[in-house]
Amino acid sequence: MGHKNRHVGIIGIGQTTYSSHREDVNQPEMIQEAVALALKDSGLKIDDIECVVHGNMELFEMIHQPDIWHVLGDGGYGKDAYRITTGGTTGITLVAAADNLVASGMYDIVMAIGFEKLQEGHTTGGITNMADPLWGRSLQTGALTGATAKDMINEFGEDRARRAAMRHRITLDKHAKLNPNSHRSFGLEYDQVEDLMDNSPKLVGELRLIHMCSQSDGACAMIFASEKKAKELSKHPVWIRDHITVHREETFNLFGHDVPELTHHYAARKLFERNGIKVPREYFDVFEMYDPSSWWGLDWLREFLLLEGDEHLRMIENDDISINGSFPLNPSGGVISANPIGATAMVRVAEAAMQIRGDAGGHQIPREVKHALASGFGGTMWTVLFMLEKELGWEEID
Amino acid sequence: MTTEHEHCYVVDGKLALPYQYLAGRVGSKFIVSLRDKKQILGVKCEKCGIVFVPPRQTCEKCLADLTKSWVELSDKGEVTNFTVVRKDDKHHPRKAPFVIALVKLEGADTPMAHIVEGIAPEKVAIGMKVKAVFAKTPTNTILDIDHFEPI
Amino acid sequence: MATYFGIAVDDIFNTMQARFRPEGAAGMDAVLAYDITGDGGGCWKITVKDNTVKIENTDDLAGFSVKTTVDAETFVGISIGKVDGMSAFSSGKMKVEGDMSLLAASPRLFNRFTPPKKGVTVHDIFATLVERFRPENATDLDMTIGYNIGGDDGGQWTAVIKDGKCVLETGLRADATITQIVTAKDFVDLVLGKLDPMVAIGAGRLRIAGDMKAAGIVPKLFAKFTPADAGEEQELIVLKRNISVNMKYSTGRHLGMFLDALKEKKIIANICPKCGRYQLPPREVCAECRCRVEDFKEVGPGGVITLIEDVYYASPDPLTGETRETPYGTVHVLLDGCTPDCTFWHFLKNEDLGNTKEGDRVQPVWAEKRDGGVHDILYFEKENG
């Protein structure tokens, strides 16, 4: 059984549509939409859920302990309940917690809920608060940085790097167009690369508005069950093979000339090692990456897939990452297209699971998906990485 | 470990950011009714037999949709519990001392937190009958009921 | 005049004077220019000064503080909340020149544009009459209902009900079972429930010719008319607040030593006893080696820039809630004496933004009055600058 006590299956998924305009609902009402959809998807009643794990970002809506209020809509009344908040990774940490709670034997069926109503607060202002109040808070601008753009321009040349980042952006925009839940899809075309990379407003350095993720309202709920229950209750459970969480520094460190191994690379290396995955690019059929900007999405492809040199750029340039390509990246449209932050990282796992089930709808990859990878990102380079499988019976490595 | 306080000090700071809260359709109907009609609305879950005030979109127990189950309530009720706020804070709705009470309106099953005025704090008692006094100028919040006062 | 979502660009500018909120313009002295392209577009100049506003329809946009160029449809869409302004901006549909932070402040200047309420017309009611027909209440019924509606918006119609079907004809039939005679305004009010039919009949404002008994059946034959935009009419409450909470932050000994040293114009790092890396500002433990870090050493104050961040996005300073002025630069500086994985983060002198690059040497400029905080250093500037 490897290092897990028992197998855990994903048996229910519910997502609201993502939008910048949800004046029609308050927070628990918005969450309720996702909970109702997850229950419907699983065929369960709220009474079947033993435990609710709930989370979002701190300070984004400035509601203290929102989980208490949200019992109005999340079905947590009278149940064991936990609140988790770990920054941008919150959504996927919720999945990790639910997986651990079921695998441990503590509960057979757990529901995890991630949400955000970014319209209600100031996202960048909220993120700036992650910095040390006596130092970095005066200097930081939320999650906006041009550092990665600069590094890539230095490594690959200005023209190639900027084109690759825009091509990544346009590919994801095309994916978002296929996903009815997506907050934004502009209908971008590849012939707009030059116009956009020069004319989209600058945020920080070469990070432009078009590269950066949206600020969305929305919620995602997922239901997890033990192997026995999952097989009883679900026609198509998706199995959580393994997950890893890595973070390294308490502060957002910008290193000088010596850059240590980044958390994404470290997490991927460790996770693939202990699961015997030699060539991740060949093993996985889809990758739902937490890509807050196109520069990061592009750079991190190399980190997560343990690639060398410019292979990640070539993957973009050759359209390998498109939904019809050899390695589909974010068929959902990714974080750039919809980012209700506390739900965002959970949506990566949910979307990866939907690809395995084969019922992602308009953005379903047009071939069988057996192995999926999903990542979360947050805070001072937190990384959470998940492996999902269609079938049990993978080879365990100790 | 030794406790050393040299170089340790405390710096005054602030956490200040803009926010907005969206009441949603159900909450907005409740507030607009308070403001424009001086009418307190609740919702009733037919299955669980509970009348919720303030109203909510779903029943917290059975998750039934309550958006079509509006009920009009009396502006009178009774205090089911209370506390006396004795410390001033800029976020409080009144200067201390003032009374925050749980008021269960006639016809409602859930009590609602609000301010009780027009009586000395030490005289407030559980079971006391109170009546809503509506605000003269709209606030677009629950304070469109300005406070409750003894009958 | 081209309209979008039923609204012309002119409607929005022409109502601006009335929608102006002097309290939202406090302290503002600016010219907001709009170049609205496409059908129904034009150029407008909004001058805000001394809590007053002047709105001009002019092609001379010179001297603007911020200029927005956008197509008419997107402009109207944003103004009425149908189009997300941020998305339009991101995708390049809307272009902004000049001081972007003014644009962020502009929603405070005006009350939101609300389209004039389009009243329900008689034609609206007849347009949905057939689909509102309820055949279950018309079994075996054979009747014709005439509507003789006076006034500008009026007309003449006849609903023919037979074999469980309803067909609407224009014009009147002499042999109608009943005919209602009423003005357009009263008819609309009757349908919307604003006018009581018995009151209307009593006052002679509604006359019914023909079989009065049959008239009693009519209300059951049609489902209630609901205006098309009824769903959007509900007022949705939004509460805006600037939340400000007083805080006290403890420095702890390590950051405290660093802040104390700033008062003496010194920058001190601490050095991990295991891996030897420097930390700036000093931190209690090395996150890599998980050990306490007690060695301190003065570094800098000069160094080499490893990264410049030129910030254009105006975000709020969470320590005050005030919006920061942009653009500004922050720099990560590898101070002299530090290990190459440790940079020091601070501001770049505004005048040096744009003519400074990675690899340039910089030095701190100290504040006259230093009290142990990030602003004891004003910024870094180019050496020998």
End-to-end CA distance of chain B: 62
The answer, for B18 touching chain C at a CB cutoff of 8 Å, is yes
List CB contacts of A175: < 8 A, sequence separation 6 or more: A322, A323, A330, A331, A332, A333, A334, A337, A363
For residues C89 and C164, membership in a common domain is answered with no
Mean pLDDT of chain C: 86
How confident is the model over A81-121, as pLDDT tens digits?
999 999 899 999 999 999 999 999 999 999 999 999 998 88
Rounded distance between C-alpha atoms, residue A352 and residue A372, angstroms: 6
Q: Are A10 and A388 in contact (CB under 8 A)?
A: yes
d(CA A321, CA A298): 10
Q: Which chains touch A (3 or more CB pairs under 8 A)?
A: B, C
pLDDT digits over A140-151, tens only?
887 788 889 999
pLDDT digits (tens, 9 = 90+) for A297-323: 999 999 999 999 999 999 999 999 999
Task: Tell me, yes or no, whether C131 and C190 share the same domain.
Answer: yes
Do residue C256 and residue C308 come from a single domain?
yes
Upstream peptide bond of B55 is cis (omega within 30 degrees of 0): no
Tell me which residue range forms the domain holding C129: 122-221
Of the residues C236, C237, C238, the best mutation for testing chain B's interface (the one with the most B CB atoms within 10 Å of its CB) is C237
Minimum CA–CA partner of B10 in chain A: A134
- C198 in contact with chain B, both atoms CB, cutoff 8 A: no
Predicted local confidence at residue A311, as pLDDT? 97
Q: Give every CB contact of residue C279 below 8 A, 6+ residues apart in sequence.
A: C269, C270, C271, C272, C286, C293, C342
| CA–CA–CA angle A305, A308, A310 (5° rounding) | 105
Q: CB–CB of B21 and A120 under 8 A?
A: yes
Rg, C-alpha atoms of chain A: 20
d(CA A37, CA A29): 13
Q: How far is CA C359 from CA A205, C255, C303, in A?
A: 17, 28, 9
CA atoms of A224 and C295, how far apart (whole Å): 49
State which H helix or E strand residue C382 sits in.
Answer: strand C377-382
How far apart CA A337 and CA A184 sit, in angstroms, is 5
**Are the Cβ atoms of C100 and A258 closer than 8 angstroms?**
no
| DSSP label at residue A372 | E
Q: How far is CA A50 from the centre of its chain?
A: 25
Residue among A348, A303, A296 at smallest CA distance from A89: A348
Closest CA to C262 of C369, C149, C110: C369
Nearest-by-Cβ selection for A29 from B19, B57, B61: B57
Please answer yes or no on whether C96 and A201 come within 8 Å at the CB atom. Answer: yes
Q: Residue-wise pLDDT tens for chain B (151 aa)?
A: 455 688 898 988 888 888 888 999 999 999 999 999 999 999 999 999 999 999 999 998 899 999 999 999 999 999 999 999 999 988 899 999 999 999 999 999 999 999 999 999 999 999 999 999 999 988 899 999 999 999 9
Q: Which residues pair with C167 in a beta bridge?
A: C160
- Distance of residue C342 Cα from the nearest chain B Cα, in angstroms: 23
For A256, which of C87, C330, C334 is closest by C-beta distance?
C334
Upper half-sphere CA count for residue A91 (Cβ side, 13 Å): 31
Phi, psi of A301 (to 5 degrees): -60, -40
Rounded to whole angstroms, how far apart are CA atoms A92 and A183? 20
Domains in chain A, CATH or no CATH each: 8-124+215-238 (3.40.47.10), 142-213+242-389 (3.40.47.10)
Banded model confidence at residue C164, pLDDT cuts 50, 70, 90: confident
Strand-by-strand arrangement of the C267-271 sheet:
C278-279, C267-271, C295-299
Has residue C26 got a pLDDT over 90?
A: no
Tell me the C-alpha distance between C75 and C83, whole Å.
8
User: In this predicted model, what pLDDT tens digit does every residue of C277-335 receive, in sequence order?
Assistant: 899 999 999 888 889 999 999 998 999 999 898 888 888 887 777 788 888 999 999 99
- Among A304, A284, A336, smallest CA distance to A175 is for A336
Instruction: Scan for tokens 């690959």, then name that residue.
Output: A156
* Nearest residue on chain B to A130, alpha-carbon basis: B15
| DSSP code, position A33 | H
The amino acid occupying position B23 is: A
Please give the C-alpha separations between residue A366 and each of A286, A311, A327, C333, in angstroms, as whole numbers. 11, 24, 12, 49
Residue C335 lies in a domain: yes
Residue A57 burial (10 A CB sphere; 0-12, 13-18, 19+)? buried
C99 and C191, same structural domain? no
Contacts of A133 in chain C (CB under 8 A): 247, 249, 319
**Measured between CA atoms, how close is C250 to chain B, in angstroms?**
4
- Beta carbons of C317 and A138 less than 8 Å apart: yes
How far off is chain C from A135, nearest CA to CA, in Å? 6
Helices (H), chain A: 27-42, 66-74, 90-103, 123-128, 147-156, 158-177, 193-199, 227-233, 263-275, 280-283, 294-304, 311-317, 334-337, 341-357
Test B63 with A32 for CB contact under 8 angstroms: yes
Question: Using one digit for the tens of pLDDT, what is the confidence trace for A190-201?
Answer: 999 998 888 888
Distance between CA atoms of residues A87 and A379, nearest Å: 5
Q: Which of A26, A28, A62 sits opposite B17 (nearest CB)?
A: A62
Portion of chain C with pLDDT greater than 90, in percent: 32
Kindly state whether residue C4 falls inside one of the protein's structural domains.
no
For an interface test with C, which of B17, B88, B143 has the most C Cβ atoms less than 10 Å from its Cβ?
Answer: B17
Interface contact flag, B20 A120, Cβ < 8 Å: yes
A253 pLDDT band (50/70/90 cuts)? low
Tokens of C302: 């000069």
**B120 in contact with C, Cβ within 8 Å:** no
- Per-residue model confidence (pLDDT) at position A164: 97
Name every residue whose Cβ is closer than 8 Å to that of residue B141 and which is 6 or more positions away in sequence: B31, C239
Residues 196-215 on A with a CB inside 8 Å of C are: 196, 199-205, 209-210, 212, 214-215
Interface test with B, best of A19, A20, A22, A23 (most B CBs within 10 A): A23
What pLDDT does residue A104 have? Answer: 97
Residues C260 and C359 in one domain: yes
Q: How many CB pairs under 8 A join A and B?
A: 70
- pLDDT: which is higher, C1 or A36: A36
Taking residues A64-70, what's their average pLDDT?
88
Structure tokens at C344: 């020091």
Considering the domain boundaries, does residue C314 fall inside one?
A: yes
Q: Environment class of residue A241 by beta-carbon count within 10 Å: exposed (0-12), middle (13-18) or buried (19+)? A: buried
Q: Give the span between the Cα atoms of A327 and A191, in whole angstroms.
A: 23
Minimal CA–CA distance to A30: which of A336, A338, A343, A288?
A343
Interface test with A, best of B45, B61, B63, B141 (most A CBs within 10 A): B63
Interface test with B, best of A22, A24, A74 (most B CBs within 10 A): A24
Nearest to A77 among B13, B17, B60 (CB): B60
Asked if the model's pLDDT at residue C105 lies above 50, the reply is: yes
**Which pLDDT score, from 0 to 100, does residue C229 have?**
57
Q: B19–A134: do the CB atoms touch at under 8 Å?
A: no
pLDDT at A2: 60
Pair (C362, C257) in one structural domain: yes
Q: Both tokens of residue B26?
A: 């159900």
A205 residue type, one letter:
G
Does the structure show a pLDDT above 50 at C255? yes
Q: In this structure, are C265 and C366 located in the same domain? A: yes
Which range is most confident: A131-135, A325-329, C218-222? A325-329
Q: Which single residue is written with the structure tokens 């609903």? A: C159
| Model pLDDT, residue A1 | 47
**Single-letter amino acid code for the residue at A232:** E
Count of domains forming chain C: 3
Q: In this structure, is residue C63 part of a structural domain? A: yes
**Is residue C235 one of the residues assigned to a domain?**
no
* Ramachandran quadrant class, A235 (left: phi over 0; alpha: psi -120 to 50; beta: rest): alpha
- Tell me the shortest Cα–Cα distance from A16 to chain B, in angstroms: 15
CA quadruple A129, A130, A131, A137: dihedral, nearest 10:
-10
Locate tokens 């009609």: which residue?
B37
CA–CA distance, B36 with B144 (Å, rounded to integer): 9
- Three-state DSSP class for C77? helix
Q: C229 in a domain, yes or no?
A: no
Q: Are B31 and B144 in contact (CB under 8 A)?
A: yes
CA–CA gap between residue A390 and residue A369 (Å, rounded):
8
CA distance C226 to chain B (A): 17
C-beta atoms of A257 and C341 within 8 A: yes
Are residue C212 and residue C260 in the same domain, yes or no?
Answer: no
Give the model's confidence band at C79: pLDDT under 50 very low, under 70 low, under 90 confident, else very high: confident
C342 and A196: CB-CB below 8 Å? Answer: no
Assess contact for C71 and C83: CB atoms under 8 A.
no
Tokens 């009144």 correspond to B94
Give the gap in angstroms from C-alpha B55 to the nearest C-alpha of chain C: 15
What is the share, in percent, of chain B residues with pLDDT greater than 70? 97
Question: In this structure, are C92 and C138 located in the same domain?
Answer: no
Q: Residue A379: what pLDDT? A: 77
Give the number of C-alpha atoms closer than 13 A to the C-alpha of residue C94, restricted to the C-beta side: 25
**For residues C126 and C157, is the Cβ–Cβ distance under 8 A?**
yes
pLDDT level of residue A252 (50, 70, 90 thresholds): low
Q: Do C341 and A256 touch (CB under 8 A)?
A: yes
| 3-state class (DSSP) for residue A13 | strand
Q: Do C248 and B11 touch (CB under 8 A)?
A: yes
CB A219 within 8 A of CB A350: no
| Residue numbers in C near A120 (CB within 8 A) | none
According to DSSP, residue A259 is labeled P
Say if CB A73 and CB A28 are below 8 A apart: yes
Cα separation of B145 and B40, whole Å?
9
| Total residues found in chain A within this entry | 398
CB contact under 8 A, A137 and C318: yes
Which of C69, C88, C109 is where one domain is finished? C109
Question: Both tokens of residue C132?
Answer: 């509102």
Q: How confident is the model at residue C111 (pLDDT cuts 50, 70, 90)?
A: confident
Taking the C-alpha atoms of residue A186 and residue C89, their distance in angstroms, rounded to an integer, is 11
pLDDT cut 70: percent of chain A above it: 97
Q: State yes or no: pLDDT of A222 exceeds 70.
A: yes
- Whole-number mean pLDDT of chain A? 92
In a domain, C242, yes or no: no
| Cis, peptide link before residue B97, omega less than 30° from 0 | yes
* Most C CBs within 10 Å, among B3, B5, B7, B20, to test the C interface: B7
3-state percent helix, strand, coil for chain A, nearest multiple of 5: 40, 20, 40
User: By the CB < 8 Å criterion, does A380 face chain B?
Assistant: no
Identify the pLDDT of residue C231: 47
Instruction: State the smallest CA–CA distance between residue B21 and chain C in angstroms.
Output: 5
* List of chain A residues whose C-beta atoms are within 8 Å of the C-beta of residue C375: 138
CATH classification at residue C134: 3.30.1050.10
CB A73 within 8 A of CB B58: yes
Q: Is residue C230 part of a domain?
A: no
Contact (CB<8Å) C248/B31:
no
- Comparing C-alpha atoms, which of C266, C270, C286 is closest to residue C278? C270
Together in a domain, C265 and C358: yes
For the segment A354-378, the average pLDDT, to the nearest whole number, is 96
Contact B19 A121 (CB under 8 A): yes
Note whether A125 contacts C238, CB cutoff 8 Å: no
Cβ of residue C1 closer than 8 Å to a chain A Cβ:
no
- The more confidently predicted of residues B108 and C19 is B108
Residues C126 and C105 in one domain: no
* CB-closest option in A128, A150, A202 to C307: A150
Report the residue from C238, C251, C320 with minimal CB separation from B20.
C238
| pTM: predicted TM-score of the whole model, two decimal places | 0.80
Mean pLDDT along residues C184-213:
80
Length of chain B: 151
Residue of A163 and A209 predicted with greater confidence: A163
pLDDT one-digit tens code per residue, A289-302: 999 999 999 999 99
Contact B58 A121 (CB under 8 A): no
Domain shared by C34 and C156, yes or no = no
Best mutation target among A16, A19, A20, A25 (most B Cβ atoms within 10 Å) is A25
Give the per-residue pLDDT at A123.
Answer: 83
Q: What is the mean pLDDT of residues A26-33?
A: 95
pLDDT given for residue C228 in this prediction = 66
